[in-house]
Each structure stands twice: as structure tokens, then as C-alpha cells.
Amino acid sequence: MTWLVPLLLVLHVVPAVFWAGSTAVLARPGTIALPLPLRAPQTGSAAGAIIFGMILWGMLHRGDAGTPEYVLGAGALCALTAFALQQLVAWPALRRDPEGGAARFASAQRISSILLIVALSAMVTFRYA
Ligand code: HEM
């Protein structure tokens, strides 16, 4: 099954790139007039990236942890923190008060964006650690 890992990597990386990209755009207030329609695509792509990332971890990195796994794990932790910030702070602030919540929404998306940049950096460098 030489196709399975590449397939899982595609199913992990493509939504992860959309997740990080949409977060970077939403971190700049005023870039998008109506951010709410992006809620489902951002949440869905994040969920896909996380689920397939965990499957890859289980298949390729279970067992003894070395430096690469610590780097990968730190990246995954940053991504999970970004997800929690978006779901618990950013989107609820905007839904409760679309105008007054915009600053809180943008701050949470900005911190998430930085966390996702760290996560992406960890993901593409872990095998050289
Ligand atoms: C909970 C979140 C995440 C988990 C558990 C996770 C886990 C993983 C695992 C296990 C791999 C495969 C390692 C291997 O090939 O041996 C991987 C690869 C990768 N991940 Fe993630 N990941 C997460 C989030 C992210 C995010 C947020 C991004 C991008 C913003 C990302 C981008 C990538 C990329 C580009 C690769 C391919 C690296 C390469 O093959 O050189 N991941 N991830």
C-alpha cells in the first residue's frame, strides 16, 4: 500500500494550507467585509487537517519519541491551540456581536495565525531535527 501514506499526506496538508491561509487573511481586520461565511470552511479544513495529522502520527510516529517527534508534537500542539482559540474565542465573539466583536475576533485570528506558522515550520523541518 505505497499509495496510502502519500494519500493521507495530501488529505492532511491541503486542508492545513487552507486553514493557515484563511487564518492569515482573517487576522487582518477589514480584508473581508463578511467573515462569517468563512467559519464553516475554516473549521472544516482545520478538522480535516487535525484528523488526518493524527492518523499519520499513529501510523508513522507511534512508539519511542525522538527529537523529530518532539518537534512534530510541538507543531501539533500549536495547531491545536490555534483551533481552540478560533472555536472558543474568535468565532463566538463575532457571532455574539458582529461589530463590537471584530477586534477580539481579529486578535484571536492573529495569534492563531502565528501559531499556525510555527506549526507549519515544525511540520516541514521535523525530519531534519
Ligand atoms: C494537530 C495538528 C497536526 C498533527 C497531529 C499533524 C501531524 C503530522 C504528521 C504525523 C505528519 C507526517 C509526518 C511524516 O511524514 O512522517 C505531518 C506532516 C505535515 N504536516 Fe502536519 N500535523 C498537524 C497540523 C498541521 C498544520 C496546521 C500544518 C500547516 C499549517 C501542517 C502541515 C504539514 C506538512 C506540510 C506536512 C508534510 C511535511 C513533510 O513531509 O515534509 N500540519 N503532520
Instruction: Ligand 1 pocket test: pick from 123, 125, 128 the residue with the most ligand atoms within 8 Å of its Cβ.
Output: 123
Q: What is the mean pLDDT of residues 10-34?
A: 94
Is the confidence at residue 98, as pLDDT, over 90? Answer: no
Contact in structure between 55 and 13 (CB atoms under 8 Å): no
42-96 pLDDT, tens per residue? 999 999 999 999 999 999 999 888 999 999 999 999 999 999 999 999 999 999 9
User: What would you report as the CA-atom Rg of the chain, rounded to the nearest whole angstrom?
Assistant: 16
The model carries a pTM of 0.95
Name the packing angle between helices 39-60 and 67-85 (round to 10°).
160
- Mean pLDDT, the chain, rounded, equals 95
**Cα of 102 from ligand 1 centre, angstroms:** 30
